């Protein structure tokens, strides 16, 4: 299959690489030449703009950081909407359902079908092809791109309604964020009381409190003070804020998730939006006067 791929960041680079290695003809574009060069060295075909991508392939995939950037790449000047060959726009980003529906309507005016297919599973999952791919859109068009999406990860068809995949992604990500924040508060409390954080994690992971935060983030990233999970606090705050907006529009009370958003905002304010998600523990540590770290043997 001929595929255009725009956005070769932490997640996108791995997805594009997997598509190239699976034998697809992949046209690639990113604003960073180094990112393009890395995939071109593996067999990707470099082009100079989103429009050129859309001139080259019927299926265009994007993995981009924010809803506004997705909108610009899809429908702006020299964007995908101006391409001569494109028939399907597959958005692997997290934009929320409102933006997905907006892009769907704008592209439909040019007979381009938008498929929202956000992913979840982190950089490691993108590298290994184990991310969850949550696709929604017209069934026939989703089926047409399903073989390529199955190269990227585990495929789920969420529904034909535009934006359904985005809502599913936000419901997942807010749980991930909440687990990370709650684990941060729990671990700092235990350490402040004199508990060994490694033993705490062993007990939690054998008990009912376990999550990806206790099973992977804290033992591998927080305790050794690496803070290199590969997903920023700013991006997670964006996802949680999108979830809050959708939930409130539906009339759902979300006090717990509002508290999660508040700690993410505090982290971004004090440490910067580009800091790793796992640094949400640091503002709590700072106020408690302890660090959650591996004890010297």
Catalytic residues: 169
The Cα 127–Cα 262 span in angstroms is: 31
**Contact (Cβ atoms closer than 8 angstroms) between residue 58 and residue 191:** no
The distance from CA 42 to its chain's CA centroid, rounded to whole angstroms, is 24
Which residues sit opposite 153 in a β-bridge?
A: 131
Question: Which tokens go with 240?
Answer: 């949680």
DSSP state, residue 273: T
Task: Write phi, then psi, for 218 (nearest 5 degrees).
Answer: -75, -50
> Which residue in 62, 174, 73 sits closest to 120, CA to CA?
174
**Contact (Cβ atoms closer than 8 angstroms) between residue 246 and residue 97:** yes
Helix/strand/coil (H/E/C) assignment for every residue in 15-53: HHHHHHHCCCEEEEECCCHHHHHHHHCCCCEECCCHHHH
**Contact (Cβ atoms closer than 8 angstroms) between residue 29 and residue 50:** yes
Helix/strand/coil (H/E/C) assignment for every residue in 46-112: ECCCHHHHHHHCCEEEECCCCHHHHHHHHHCCCCHHHCCCCCEEEECCCCCHHHHHHHHHHHHCCCC
């Amino acid at each position: 299959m001929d595929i255009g791929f725009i956005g070769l960041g932490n997640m996108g680079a791995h997805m594009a690489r997997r598509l190239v290695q699976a034998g697809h003809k992949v046209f690639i574009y990113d604003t960073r030449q180094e990112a393009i060069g890395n995939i071109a060295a593996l067999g990707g075909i470099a082009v100079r703009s989103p429009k050129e991508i859309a001139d080259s392939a019927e299926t265009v995939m994007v993995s981009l950081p924010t809803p506004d950037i997705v909108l610009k790449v899809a429908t702006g000047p020299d964007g995908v909407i101006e391409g001569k060959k494109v028939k399907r726009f597959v958005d692997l980003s997290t934009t929320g359902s409102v933006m997905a529906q907006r892009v769907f309507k704008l592209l439909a005016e040019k007979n381009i079908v938008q498929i929202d297919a956000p992913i979840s599973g982190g950089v490691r999952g993108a590298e290994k092809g184990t991310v969850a791919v949550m696709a929604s859109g017209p069934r026939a068009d989703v089926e047409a791109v399903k073989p390529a999406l199955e190269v990227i990860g585990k495929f789920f068809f969420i529904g034909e309604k535009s934006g359904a995949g985005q809502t599913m992604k936000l419901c997942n990500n807010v749980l991930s964020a909440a687990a990370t924040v709650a684990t941060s508060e729990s671990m700092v409390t235990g350490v402040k009381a004199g508990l060994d954080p490694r033993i705490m994690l062993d007990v939690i992971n054998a008990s009912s409190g376990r999550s990806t935060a206790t099973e992977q983030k804290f033992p591998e990233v927080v305790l050794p003070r690496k803070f290199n999970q590969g997903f920023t606090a700013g991006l997670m705050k964006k996802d949680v804020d999108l979830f809050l907006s959708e939930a409130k529009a539906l009339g759902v009370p979300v006090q717990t998730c509002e508290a999660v958003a508040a700690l993410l905002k505090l982290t971004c304010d004090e440490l910067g939006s580009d800091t790793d998600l796992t640094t949400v523990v640091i503002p709590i540590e700072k106020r408690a006067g302890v660090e959650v770290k591996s004890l010297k043997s």
